[in-house]
Structure 1
Amino acid sequence: MDFSAADVSGLAAALGIGLLIGIERERRKGQGALRSAAGVRTHALLSLAGALCVLVDTRLLVVTGLVVAGLVVVSYARSGGDDPGVTGEVAMVASFLLGALAMRSPALASGLGVVVAVLLHTKRPLHRLSRDLISQRELGDLLLLAAAILVIWPLLPDRSLDPWGALNPRVIWKYVVLVMAVGAVGHVALRLVGARWGLPLAGFFSGFASSTAATAGFGQQARDTPPVRRPAASAALLSNLASLLLFVAVIGAGSPALLRSTVWALVAAVVVLLGTSAVGIWGRGSDSPPLPGDPTARAFRLSWALTFGLAITVVLFVSAWLRALFGDAGALVTAGIAALAELHASAASVAQLSASGSLALSSARWGVVGLLVASGLVKSVVAFTSGGRRFGLLVTAGLLGSVVAAALVVALTPA
């Protein structure tokens, strides 16, 4: 039988997987008569056996698999009275199957082998997470979020249902999921890191997905937990900062000339957002200690996420209808309305019109400011609606300051 380089690679991967899992199991098998049956040598041999079955004849997988199953039964019968868990026996089956997979896809098998080893090694942290750190209500929220992402989202049609191509159920559900996910990420960050740093950090990264959804999620958190109002407002402003950075990238990709003409205005907006968000992190009242985990706290509220998705649907529908009604003559008005729901799509539209010459550079500059105004307006409304008056004032102050700074620079600098 001739061996290829792929065969050698698969066998090496199988051996490595078996040794990796086996070393972890060896450290936990114990000593004496009650020690576990499978350690480093057993797992290495099981993984190699799976690989050799594929290499010689795949039909051997069935026969050898039955032998492995018999060993698993014997192992459990021997140790089940003292330890009713079956983790060690399942690990034996995993080593065998991963060894077989290594002959077909060494990279995938190796990656899964690392995952299995990590899961085996983190027994105590995982038990503590599931038993002590996550409450029953938080577990329910987590399962609801998983269902929204893994069950509902793939089942929704990925096509427009209206004549103007605006109402795509899967796209709209994305916003609902984002509101739920941002709330969950903020909740986890609050539990793990504390309010002062956890929420702003989560806010910045969530802004790359949807700053509007992030504002809604952190507003909900500020309403439910008033002591974290300032860090939550900083998180919302930092999410808008991340969105603004994407906004700059979209304009630059669509019209470099428009970006060059508005770069200082956009820099001014970035500086203001950074400054106002820093107030919530380092300002008065921001040094409150991390809040303890509250078993009654919710990671997110489904009703608010669904309401937000409905609002997005209405805005997208009206925007598409007006664009069809007025055509390119109403491009800026339509883009401004669209910015209420999706800032970056509107930025791409204005940049494209500017690059093609359909829109004068001077008008496009003010169009950029108009998009920031429209986006800031809807996020301010979302902030007041989701987080209450004080949260809304904090977020609106930062957004208003950034828009005013950008408008002043545009007014004072030539096109």
Structure 2
Amino acid sequence: MDIQPQNLFTALAIGLLIGVVRERHHVGGGATVAGVRTHAMVALAAGVAADFGGAALVAVVLAVGALAVASHMRTRDSDPGLTGEMALLVTTMLAALAQQDAALAAGLGVIAAVLLFAKQPLQRFARDIVSEREVQDGLLLAASALVVLPMLPGEPVDPWGVLVPSRLWKLVVLVMAVGMLGHIALRAVGARWGLPVAGFFSGFASSTAAVAGFGQRTRDDARLANTAASAALLSNLASLLLLVGILAAASPALLRASAWPLAAAVGMLLAIAAIGLHKEGETPELPREPQARAFKLSHALLLAAIIAAVLVLSAWLRSVFGDAGALVTAMLVALAELHAAAASIAQLSAGGGLSLEHAQWGIAGLLSSSAAAKSVLAFASGHRRYGFLVAGGLVGMALACAAVTWVVTR
């Protein structure tokens, strides 16, 4: 037996931390079943038992489990939950873990304490913020990431070696996850903070739809031109951040090479968006509540299909015309779908089908194509001032990216 005092102190600290949280939970609500002293004693017992060996630890776990069952039988009428009993078992196991890995046990202890302390915020999140439809979407997202993704092959399935099912599905899961995050955040704070925040989060789903939607608002009320333009530009900022995530998943090397050009594009968008937010004043109309669905699976699957088609077409054109053929194809696709085009360039670059320098210029070209299409949409859908502000921000974004790309590739 080799007892380490510092590990026992870690076990004791875990018991005290969880015990304090449980003690505070019962303030003004009657006697505490398992508070500071109980959790501290259980932690010490489990820590010492872990050093004695497996048999002693099993005996302690069984004893704590029996006490937890007895406690629940006595208090189930006034407190039907099992959180207190499970907290006691968690303290036992973490105290035992502390004898092997004190840092990991301490970190898990903090997480357990936070979960116990955040009872009301978590209940509000689960019952009020997240709807039943969003829970269904969350389960669909979890199934896509944890069930479908591991089953997909990680080897190319096409003659050119560019279609890797697992990589394509990772991008689909990324789009779904970001859509879920943006949707929940918009539900939580969108109506309070107004159009700019709503615009930013809506951009994770579709910045093109955001440009058109905010433009329509300025048709109805020209006073919204500055604020709506800022919201539209912030939606494109969110879209740009999603593009960064796609590059990180598909080709980290291309992301590192394009870091400064993308940073310049982000800075330009923020600078132009700040113009619309410079004048203070009340927004005549708050943004509407988001739709019930956090994301559309059909949209994610369509995105995957577009990416696959662009990959195959680009690989074929490259075999015929060289890198120029692949880049032209991607820029044409970027007129309608920026992320699919970016994913295709990243995949080609990661697989060696496109040189890194050409891929960098490809990203700059995609931003230019997307900016041109959305600028036309801004003028067509909104007030003239709205169109100029949105077009100025998007064109500035594209020019900043191209200029910095020219500097880093010289």
Q: Normalising TM by the smaller chain, what interval? A: 0.7 to 0.9
Mapped contact 1:15–1:99 kept (Cα < 8 A): yes
Distance verdict in 2 for CA 1:336–1:91, change over 3 Å: same
Equivalent position of 1:341 in the other structure: 342
Q: Deviations over 1:107-152 (max 9, x none)?
A: 2211111111111111111112212222111222222222222222
Aligned partners of 1:11, 1:378: CA distance in 2, in Å? 59
Q: How does 1:171-190 map to 2 (within 5 A)?
A: 171-190=167-186
Equivalent position of 1:134 in the other structure: 130
Equivalent position of 1:13 in the other structure: 10
Report the TM-score when normalising by structure 2: 0.74
Equivalent position of 1:44 in the other structure: 40
Q: 2:369 aligns with which of 374, 377, 382?
A: 377
Q: 2:88 aligns with which of 92, 104, 112?
A: 92
Distance verdict in 2 for CA 1:165–1:346, change over 3 Å: closer
Mapped contact 2:349–2:356 kept (Cα < 8 A): no
Letter of the 2:324 counterpart = L
Equivalent position of 1:306 in the other structure: 301
Moved more, 76-85 or 277-286: 277-286
Distance verdict in 2 for CA 1:289–1:13, change over 3 Å: farther
Distance verdict in 2 for CA 1:29–1:283, change over 3 Å: closer
Q: How does 1:353-392 map to 2 (within 5 A)?
A: 371-377=363-369
Q: How does 1:208-287 map to 2 (within 5 A)?
A: 216-219=205-208, 233-239=232-238, 242=241, 272-278=268-274, 287=283
Mapped contact 1:10–1:102 kept (Cα < 8 A): yes
Q: Gapped runs of 5+ residues in structure 2?
A: 218-226, 332-340
Mapped contact 1:237–1:398 kept (Cα < 8 A): no
Mapped contact 1:22–1:43 kept (Cα < 8 A): yes
Q: 1:114 aligns with which of 110, 116, 138?
A: 110
Moved more, 344-353 or 274-283: 344-353
Distance verdict in 2 for CA 1:171–1:253, change over 3 Å: closer
Equivalent position of 1:58 in the other structure: 54
Q: 1:319 aligns with which of 292, 308, 314?
A: 314
Deviation at 1:86, TM superposition (A): 1.3
Q: Quick one: percent identity of the two aligned structures?
A: 39
How many pairs are equivalent? 373
Q: How does 1:20-39 map to 2 (within 5 A)?
A: 20-30=17-27, 34-39=30-35
Distance verdict in 2 for CA 1:337–1:84, change over 3 Å: same
Aligned partners of 1:187, 1:35: CA distance in 2, in Å? 41
Q: Secondary structure at the match of 2:80?
A: coil
Aligned partners of 2:402, 2:27: CA distance in 1, in Å? 70
Aligned partners of 2:14, 2:132: CA distance in 1, in Å? 36
Distance verdict in 2 for CA 1:141–1:397, change over 3 Å: farther
Letter of the 2:185 counterpart = A
Moved more, 127-136 or 216-225: 216-225
Mapped contact 2:200–2:235 kept (Cα < 8 A): no
Aligned partners of 1:250, 1:322: CA distance in 2, in Å? 23
Aligned partners of 2:15, 2:313: CA distance in 1, in Å? 59
Deviation at 1:198, TM superposition (A): 3.1
Mapped contact 1:319–1:338 kept (Cα < 8 A): yes
Mapped contact 1:219–1:232 kept (Cα < 8 A): no
Aligned partners of 1:167, 1:322: CA distance in 2, in Å? 15
Aligned partners of 1:285, 1:59: CA distance in 2, in Å? 70
Aligned partners of 2:325, 2:280: CA distance in 1, in Å? 41
Q: Secondary structure at the match of 1:167?
A: coil
Mapped contact 2:201–2:235 kept (Cα < 8 A): no
Q: Secondary structure at the match of 2:237?
A: helix
Deviation at 1:36, TM superposition (A): 2.6
Q: Secondary structure at the match of 1:299?
A: coil
Equivalent position of 2:292 in the other structure: 297
Distance verdict in 2 for CA 1:384–1:71, change over 3 Å: farther
Equivalent position of 1:67 in the other structure: 63
Letter of the 2:149 counterpart = W
Aligned partners of 1:199, 1:288: CA distance in 2, in Å? 15
Letter of the 1:377 counterpart = S
Q: Secondary structure at the match of 2:33?
A: coil
Q: Secondary structure at the match of 2:63?
A: helix
Q: Deviations over 1:367-404 (max 9, x none)?
A: 8656423344368769999xx96699787764445446
Distance verdict in 2 for CA 1:163–1:60, change over 3 Å: same
Equivalent position of 2:324 in the other structure: 332
Deviation at 1:16, TM superposition (A): 0.8
Deviation at 1:103, TM superposition (A): 1.2
RMSD (Å) for aligned C-alpha atoms:
4.3
Aligned partners of 2:21, 2:303: CA distance in 1, in Å? 47
Aligned partners of 1:187, 1:384: CA distance in 2, in Å? 27
Distance verdict in 2 for CA 1:142–1:406, change over 3 Å: closer
Letter of the 2:233 counterpart = S
Aligned partners of 2:374, 2:141: CA distance in 1, in Å? 21
Deviation at 1:9, TM superposition (A): 3.0
Aligned partners of 2:366, 2:205: CA distance in 1, in Å? 16
Equivalent position of 1:198 in the other structure: 197
Equivalent position of 1:157 in the other structure: 153
